[in-house]
Amino acid sequence: MGRATVYRWFGSRIGLIGEVVVGELETLVASSRAAAAGTGAAALLDTFPADDRTLATVPSLRRFLEHERETGLRLLTSSAGPIQPRAVAAVAAIIDAEARASGWQPAIETGTLAYAIVRLYEAFVYNDAAAGIRGDVDRLGEVEAALLGLAPQAPPPAVRARSERR
């Protein structure tokens, strides 16, 4: 794609990257939700960790963050950017759809819950090395379970073994 086309349609190279990430994110959320088991909060808890694990391990996204950490984090986590608002909207849409389909109701307003889930993902997967939680999708799943009013699921045996050694 030529530079003039990129700037005409997306405003910048970062705008193009943002649109690509959003397109992949929306596809991932929809496919994870379609594959999830259960109903209500249990279905959402089956959806979110699948998304978390996939996004945490996408090689191209990891490389982008390694090479352009500041720009990448700003692109991925800014409420003024192209990704976070659409990620929140995608999560809110599946929460609302599950509430309509199953009769389950979240304890807090859908938009707030969706925003909290997206921001938690950003902290646990992209950002918070200082708190020792960067990349810890298992603990993220525990927090998501609590937000959905469910007991956290037991981590896989390998994760339990690592935790016990600490």
Q: Is position 132 within any domain?
A: yes
Q: Is position 5 within any domain?
A: no
Q: Is position 130 within any domain?
A: yes
Nearest one of 23, 29, 19 to 93, comparing CA atoms: 29
11: alpha, beta or left, given left = phi > 0 and alpha = psi -120 to 50?
left
User: What is the reported pTM?
Assistant: 0.77
pLDDT tens sequence for the chain (166 residues):
777 776 777 677 778 888 888 888 888 888 888 888 889 999 998 898 888 888 888 888 888 888 888 888 888 889 988 899 999 999 999 999 999 999 999 989 999 999 999 998 888 877 644 444 456 777 788 888 888 988 765 554 444 444 444 4
Count the alpha carbons within 13 Å of 35 in the hemisphere toward its beta carbon. 11
Cβ-count burial 115-131 (b if 16+ within 10 Å, e if not): bbbbbbbbbbbbbeeee
The whole domain housing 120 covers: 13-165
| Counted domains in the chain | 1
- 104, two tokens: 């389950």
